[in-house]
Amino acid sequence: MKLAAIDIGSNAIRCQISNVFIYHNNPVFKRIEYIRYPMKLGQDVFATGVISEARETKFIKFLHALKLLMEVHEVDHYLVCATSAMRMAQNAPEVIKRVYDLLDMRIEVIDGFSEAEYINKVIHNLLDDKNYLHIDVGGGSTEFNVYVNHQKVASQSFELGSIRQLQQDGRSEIWGVMKEWVKENARKNNVTRAVGTGGNINKIYELAGKMAGKPIFKKQIEEIVDQLENMTMEERQTILLLNPDRADVIVPAARIYLSAMQWARVESMLVPTVGLKDGMLQALYEKHKAEVTPI
């Protein structure tokens, strides 16, 4: 069975197509295609409240391209989810209807809690017996989850992300509420380590030269951030080979990860390089698993 997940984020759109096999009663996802495009819907929405006409045109063209790609790969089932920027856009219903009318593609706009639930599907199996604070920083929102003995015991979503930070929409009141929530829940549940998801922490993990499965320490993240802050945008792109849409948001995102680690009083973080799209694929598998023939 082939499945596809399209994650319409505030900074980028990601599409992953995977083959699914059943081996020893467990699903195995083999990625056969992955595309990421910096659509930056949040750049419009968080500044003006709407998706601009020019960006909407590009958005529909890109979804059309993804639909053709899924047809070529003969995808059996797919899921399209949109997060913070689409939640906030005043003209989102019109854009979503236009996509359906033109492409026959349904876009599901999910709230922060649903976003966290999708990610939970792939996170909890990757954790050990420590108590974890999960931090997921997107372009428009940040989701927190607390895990004790592999089980999620607390969850909260805040409309604060890397693009909002970049646009100096700091929202000091949200920072304050976020800080109190993290401090209280980390203390109450004896959190000892963080787990980070999102494109920016994945890139920081890569820049730190960490081996897969090994934790990254708060001090190492701070060193990477100091290095980035002392570089121009051009240097970030030409020396560190960051994409332009990553070079501008990586530091604001890192500040959220570091702040949360400080509030929770944890010094290390696991970075499993999974995210919303992986949870969406897992959800699709659970819905259609009867169609998969075991190996």
Residue with token string 């002392």:
230
Burial of 267 (0-12, 13-18, 19+ CB in 10 A): middle
Q: Tell me the two tokens of residue 144.
A: 């927190």
What was the pLDDT predicted at 168? 62
**Taking a C-beta distance cutoff of 8 angstroms, is the pair 160, 142 a contact?**
yes
Q: What is the pTM of this model?
A: 0.89
Q: Where in the chain is the domain with CATH 3.30.420.150?
A: 128-273
Can you spell out the DSSP letters for 80-144?
EEE-HHHHH-TTHHHHHHHHHHHH----EE--HHHHHHHHHHHHGGG--SS-EEEEEE-SS-EEE
Alpha-carbon distance of 206 to 200, in angstroms, equals 10
Alpha-carbon distance of 157 to 263, in angstroms, equals 16
What was the pLDDT predicted at 267? 97
3-state DSSP assignment of residue 295:
coil
Strand order in the sheet with 142-148: 151-158, 142-148, 132-137, 193-197, 268-270, 216-217
CA dihedral 196, 198, 200, 205 (to 10 degrees): 40
Q: Where in the chain is the domain with CATH 3.30.420.40?
A: 2-112+277-291
Q: Tell me the two tokens of residue 104.
A: 């026959």
What is the sign of the dihedral through the CA atoms of 137, 142, 145 and 146?
A: positive
| Residue 5 CB neighbours (<10 A) | 25
What was the pLDDT predicted at 273? 87
Q: Tell me the two tokens of residue 117.
A: 């639930």
Q: What is the pLDDT tens value at each position of the chain, 295 positions in all? A: 999 999 999 999 999 999 998 888 888 999 999 999 999 999 999 999 999 999 999 999 999 999 999 999 999 999 999 999 999 999 999 999 999 999 999 999 999 889 989 998 999 888 888 899 999 999 989 999 999 988 999 999 998 988 888 776 556 789 999 999 999 999 999 999 999 999 999 999 999 998 888 999 999 999 999 999 999 999 999 999 999 989 999 999 999 999 999 999 999 999 998 999 999 999 999 999 888 776 6
Alpha-carbon distance of 206 to 224, in angstroms, equals 10
What was the pLDDT predicted at 171? 66
250-264 vs 199-207: helix crossing angle, rounded to 10: 90
Q: Tell me the two tokens of residue 263.
A: 């509030």
What was the pLDDT predicted at 254? 96
Instruction: Name residues whose C-beta falls within 8 Å of residue 51's C-beta, 6 or more positions apart in sequence.
Output: 41, 44, 45, 59, 85, 89, 91, 92, 95
Q: Which of 236, 170, 227, 162 is nearest to 199 (CA)?
A: 162
Q: Which of 102, 109, 103, 106 is nearest to 77 (CA)?
A: 106
| In this structure, CATH architecture of domain 2-112+277-291 | 2-Layer Sandwich (3.30)
CATH superfamily membership of 128-273: Exopolyphosphatase. Domain 2 (3.30.420.150)
What was the pLDDT predicted at 29? 94
Instruction: Name residues whose C-beta falls within 8 Å of residue 65's C-beta, 6 or more positions apart in sequence.
Output: none
Q: Which of 222, 232, 212 is nearest to 257 (CA)?
A: 222
